[in-house]
Structure 1
Amino acid sequence: MSELRPCALIPVYNHPDTVAGVVERLARHELPIILVDDGSDAGCRRELERLASQGHTLVTHADNRGKGAAVRSGLIEAERLGYTHALQVDADGQHHPADIPAFLDAMYQSPRRLLAGYACYDESVPKARRYGRYATHVWVWINTLSRHIRDSMCGVRLYPVTQVNSLLRRHPCGNRMTFDTEVLVRWYWAGGELANLPVRVHYPEQGVSHFAVWRDNTQISLMHARLFLAMWPRLPGLLRRHWRQP
């Protein structure tokens, strides 16, 4: 990668009150910003159009397809525009902006690595949300025979665009909440380099969550089962990789 051109990628679904603050904080790092409107309602659409009028790129879905579909659309647009890396950040403002420079620094040190954030919660996090994530963590460790992926559900990560898009053409990784986890597992299976970086997370009292408990938990459970079955043909290679790692 002779010239690195990072951008920020923000998937948005009905976060009109927080997305502008996220954009402002990312713009301080001189990052071009790609917003993906995943079928938001009229109020949020107006806010995104206002942000786009300031020079930010806006990709629009006519209806809600899910976070995974929004991230894929953003990555395709990032590659079309010539960006080499995309820093995915959630639109809800939960992530501490001071943690962003570490991702950019690590990108310049190792451009081929996928950089995955791991959540460092303050006292605002609901206990059910915090401990409920461990079921996914354990399944990821089983399906990779490794604890190298520290947190597969954190919404901050930096993707090498061309390599991840190539992976996603073979394995779309789901349209909704399964995407964040599956793309990291598939990346690891493919032999991709990966590093974990801390991200402080705060849950505001009036925060908006689009996690649909029954639908998304069902899809996540099916994803883990599917990955577990797909892991078996890869078992010899994963074992060799496991024993080679320090």
Structure 2
Amino acid sequence: MPHTPASAGDAFQPCALIPIYNHKDTIARTVHALRAHGLPVVIVDDGSDEATRAVLKTLAADEPTIQLIRLPRNGGKGRALTAGLIAARDTGYTHALQIDADGQHNAGDVPRFLAEGRAHPSALICGQPIYDQSVPRARLYGRYVTHVCVWMETLSFTLRDSMCGYRLYPLEATCAEIDRKPLPARMDFDTEVAVRLVWRGVEVRNLPTRVIYPENGLSHFHMLHDNLRISAMHTRLLLGMLPRAPILLWRKRRRSAWAA
């Protein structure tokens, strides 16, 4: 059942948004950490197995501020996030804090994301990862290829890390972009939505945050298939940048003039 935000007159009404697929061992800890900061939680179950479904059912029954959305089959992270963002908007929230279900992200930084979002309510607040030794080297180096592509696609260094799934979305602009054109269904979602919001003129603010790769953590990143999807996405976004180049360059020049 949808949960109405407590203070309808408040212009900043955030929730947390967690897409989940079979992370039964870590989801409760993640939810409790978010609830400790007073955030209502929207969970999108992307066709998880029975064990995970049982954990989610118990969580939702014990905590009335959890809105549980079940997708009938696994469709990918992007599809789950799209469903969750639309549901959060329709429930009445103004912002959604995306966070992974596997404990990779530091829930202690939730107040920092919320403070930044409250101060800049129209901005996309992106986590800028600070990694420790747990990060796989191949994944770390591969990110730099995407960073360079994104800088070309936006003609700016605005997005410091477009792949980090820890971010606060302004729901009005984000859902308007979803309504304009559907977003990717899988791991290429995070980067494409960020680039398209920059194209839309949404301000980006980057927030450094510690990110870990838990020992024996469950990852749904498929090296071959997801890298192929990401390559196709960058080709599509680079082509999409070309007709937008004049307005992107104009915005960049205007920002430089304001900063001078």
Q: In which range does the TM-score fall when normalised by the shorter chain?
A: over 0.9
Q: Is the 8 A contact 2:165 2:190 kept in 1?
A: yes
Distance 1:128 1:245 in 2: 35
Q: Which amino acid aligns with 1:84?
A: T
Does residue 118 of the first structure (1) align with residue 128 of the second (2)?
yes
Corresponding residue for 1:4?
A: 12
Picking from 89, 92, 101, the partner of 1:82 is 92
Q: Is the 8 A contact 2:16 2:97 kept in 1?
A: yes
Q: CA RMSD in A?
A: 1.1
Query: Where does the alignment leave 5 or more consecutive residues of structure 1 unmatched?
Result: none
Distance 1:99 1:198 in 2: 9
Does residue 61 of the first structure (1) align with residue 61 of the second (2)?
no
Q: Is the 8 A contact 1:25 1:97 kept in 2?
A: yes
Query: How far did 1:190 drift?
Result: 0.8
Query: How far did 1:114 drift?
Result: 1.0
Distance 1:109 1:235 in 2: 29
Does residue 45 of the first structure (1) align with residue 56 of the second (2)?
no
Query: How far did 1:101 drift?
Result: 0.9
Q: Which amino acid aligns with 1:144?
A: T
Q: Which amino acid aligns with 2:190?
A: D
* Stretches (4+) displaced over 2 A: 242-246
Distance 1:192 1:58 in 2: 29
Corresponding residue for 2:41?
A: 33
Query: Where does the alignment leave 5 or more consecutive residues of structure 2 unmatched?
Result: 1-8
Query: How far did 1:107 drift?
Result: 1.3
Distance 1:173 1:3 in 2: 26
Question: What SS does the corresponding residue of 1:117 show, helix, strand or coil?
Answer: strand
Query: TM-score, normalised on structure 1?
Result: 0.97
Q: Which amino acid aligns with 1:21?
A: R
Corresponding residue for 2:101?
A: 91
Does residue 185 of the first structure (1) align with residue 195 of the second (2)?
yes
Query: TM-score, normalised on structure 2?
Result: 0.92
Question: What SS does the corresponding residue of 2:202 show, helix, strand or coil?
Answer: coil
Deviations 1:30-76 (A, max 9, x none): 00000000011111111111111122110001100111110111111
Does residue 109 of the first structure (1) align with residue 123 of the second (2)?
no
Q: Is the 8 A contact 2:102 2:217 kept in 1?
A: yes
Distance 2:155 2:11 in 1: 35
Distance 1:116 1:174 in 2: 19
Corresponding residue for 1:167?
A: 177
Q: Which amino acid aligns with 1:185?
A: V
Does residue 15 of the first structure (1) align with residue 23 of the second (2)?
yes
Corresponding residue for 1:196?
A: 206
Corresponding residue for 2:237?
A: 227
Q: Which amino acid aligns with 2:166?
A: V
